[in-house]
Structure 1
Amino acid sequence: MIGKGHSIASTGASIEYGWNQEKDAEVIYKEYLAGDTPQEITEEFKIIQSQNERCTQNTLSFILSPTVKDGQEMNKAQLQEITKQFLKEMELKNRQAIAFVHRDKAHTHVHVYVNRIGFDGKAYNDSFIGKRSQVAADNVAKGLGLTRVREVQQEKLKELNWQRLAIRHINTKVLESRPKSIDEYISKMKDCNIQVIPSINKSNQLQGFRFEYKGTNLKASDVDRSMTGGKIIGEITQNTSYTKLKEVPNSLKLMDKTVQLSTNMASKIAKDLIKQVIKRGLDTGMGF
């Protein structure tokens, strides 16, 4: 099961969407609400939200998506249970909430709307709510014996095994050619029909790479654990003679732009460089 979540300001429009009868919508969960229409529910949300005028994104929106097989086999009571367990995991009990199931497509899914403002007027902390939603949904799936995301992912990776092996083999050969920059590495991979796609966040920090090969698009770590962004950059960094922790760059040139390395990635690169320095010393018989 997959869980997604974020804070929204469009409470009325979102609840209207959840209640959409064209999507065979059905209310499966309702807490601290008396209304029977989207407009009535929205007004009830607003009464509580009026206690906290500073919070503008004052409704929490979640989507819970069991696998196609699990969803087709689940009845209303079971979908209600995963909703209740999810809200418990997110510490969102005792709040106004409503949930709808949509069965208009093969992939059954639940839309959940929760008042971010509690009865005490305080706003729920939505920091990292997307990631927390994923973890909460996985915990619920595990507890209720549903198919977990990682199980689906592992199955997909098995199906793509030959593509992963090909990408890993070509990556090894390209790194053995000792490229001196990320751009050179990307260019050489492209010559071998593999497109390297940098993952850069909104803070202009390089998070890692994805690889596109013969219609398959995979995260570097899904290709192989030895192919994380930190390890690839670390190997290329060695080719430019960086050997000490203080010499690890905190930024680099990438496709005519300067991008920052996240603290986590820079730290991993530094550790790998230190290991390589020690290994070279041992291989040559040097003492430390």
Structure 2
Amino acid sequence: MIGKGHAIASTGASIAYGWNQEKNAEVVLKEYLAGENPKEITEEFKIIQSQNERCINNTLSFVVSPTIEDGKELTKRELEDIAKRFIKEMNLQNNQAIGFVHRDKAHTHVHIYANRISLKGEVYKDSFIGKRSQIAADNVAKELGLKRVCEVQQERLQELKVQRLAIKYINDRVLESRPKSLDEYIGKMKDCQVKVIPCINKSNQLQGFRFEYKGANLKGSEVHRSMTGGRLIGEISQNTSYSRLKEIPQSLKLLDKTVQISSNMATKIAKDLVKQVIKKALDTGIGI
């Protein structure tokens, strides 16, 4: 089961979407609310939200999605139980909330909208709400014996075992040729039918890489733990003589663009470089 969440300002439109009868919507959760339509529910949200008008994104929007197989078997009562447990995991028991199940697609899912302002007028902190939603959904799945995200991921990786082994083999052969830049590495991987896709966030920071090969699209860490962004950059950086933390670049050229390296990734690169320096020293007998 997957959980997603974020804070929004469009309360009325979102609740109207949740209640959309074209999606065969059914109400499966209703906490501290009496309204019978989207307009009435929105007005009730606004009454509570008026206690703290400085909060702009004053509604929390969640989507809780069981696997397709689990979703086919779940009854309305069971989906109601999932919604209530999810709200409890998110510590929103003192907030207005309404939830709708949508069955218009093969993937049954529940939309939950919770007032970010509690009945006491307190603002719910939305920091890392996306990650917290994932954890909450996983905890509920574990409690109810539903398939968890980690189990789905493991099954997927097992199905793609042949592609993963092939990508890892090609990666190792390319690194053996000692590419001196990411562009050179990406080009050599492409020559071997592996497409390397840089993952760059909105702050223009490089987060890592995805790899496409024969229908598979995988994160570096899904291929092998040695293929995370930090480790790959660290490996290639050795070919340009970086050996100390102060020499690690804060930015680099990638596909004709300059991208930033986060401090977290720079630290990981430095640690890998230190390990490599120690290994080389041991292999050559320096200091022994």
The TM-score bracket by the shorter chain reads: over 0.9
Q: 1:102-141 counterparts in 2 under 5 A?
A: 102-141=102-141
Name the amino acid aligned to 2:25: A
In structure 1, the residue matched to 2:219 is 219
In structure 2, the residue matched to 1:49 is 49
SS at match of 2:100: strand
Q: 1:145-156 counterparts in 2 under 5 A?
A: 145-156=145-156
Name the amino acid aligned to 2:177: S
Q: Give the deviation of 1:203 after TM superposition.
A: 1.2
Q: How does the TM-score come out when normalised to structure 2?
A: 0.98
Q: How does the TM-score come out when normalised to structure 1?
A: 0.98
Q: Give the deviation of 1:121 after TM superposition.
A: 2.0
In structure 2, the residue matched to 1:171 is 171
Give me the whole-angstrom Cα distance separating, in 2, the residues matched to 1:122 and 1:257. 44
Aligned-residue Cα RMSD (Å) equals 1.1
In structure 2, the residue matched to 1:74 is 74
Q: 1:123-272 counterparts in 2 under 5 A?
A: 123-272=123-272
Q: Give the deviation of 1:261 after TM superposition.
A: 1.1
Identity %: 74
Deviations 1:254-282 (A, max 9, x none): 11221111122111111111111111111
Name the amino acid aligned to 1:189: M
In structure 2, the residue matched to 1:25 is 25
Deviations 1:121-146 (A, max 9, x none): 22211111111111111111112111
Give me the whole-angstrom Cα distance separating, in 1, the residues matched to 2:257 and 2:229. 17
SS at match of 2:169: helix
Q: Give the deviation of 1:215 after TM superposition.
A: 2.2
Give me the whole-angstrom Cα distance separating, in 2, the residues matched to 1:285 and 1:194. 37
Give me the whole-angstrom Cα distance separating, in 2, the residues matched to 1:209 and 1:122. 40
Q: Give the deviation of 1:227 after TM superposition.
A: 0.8
SS at match of 1:78: helix
Name the amino acid aligned to 1:110: V
In structure 2, the residue matched to 1:10 is 10
Instruction: Determine if the alignment matches structure 1 residue 276 to structure 2 residue 276.
Output: yes
Give me the whole-angstrom Cα distance separating, in 1, the residues matched to 2:64 and 2:265. 31
Give me the whole-angstrom Cα distance separating, in 1, the residues matched to 2:6 and 2:35. 24
Q: Give the deviation of 1:245 after TM superposition.
A: 2.0
Give me the whole-angstrom Cα distance separating, in 1, the residues matched to 2:42 and 2:173. 59
Deviations 1:28-83 (A, max 9, x none): 11000011111100000011111111111111010000011111111122111111
SS at match of 2:61: strand
Deviations 1:156-198 (A, max 9, x none): 1111111111111111111100000011111111111111100
Give me the whole-angstrom Cα distance separating, in 1, the residues matched to 2:262 and 2:138. 27
SS at match of 1:51: coil
SS at match of 2:167: helix
Give me the whole-angstrom Cα distance separating, in 2, the residues matched to 1:58 and 1:244. 47
Give me the whole-angstrom Cα distance separating, in 2, the residues matched to 1:159 and 1:279. 35
SS at match of 1:242: coil
Give me the whole-angstrom Cα distance separating, in 2, the residues matched to 1:246 and 1:286. 23
Give me the whole-angstrom Cα distance separating, in 1, the residues matched to 2:119 and 2:74. 33
Give me the whole-angstrom Cα distance separating, in 2, the residues matched to 1:280 and 1:106. 54
Give me the whole-angstrom Cα distance separating, in 1, the residues matched to 2:13 and 2:257. 40
Count residues with an aligned counterpart: 288
Give me the whole-angstrom Cα distance separating, in 1, the residues matched to 2:227 and 2:137. 28
Name the amino acid aligned to 2:20: N
SS at match of 2:249: coil
SS at match of 1:118: coil
Give me the whole-angstrom Cα distance separating, in 2, the residues matched to 1:71 and 1:59. 26
Give unmatched runs, 5+ long, in structure 2: none
Give me the whole-angstrom Cα distance separating, in 2, the residues matched to 1:285 and 1:191. 37
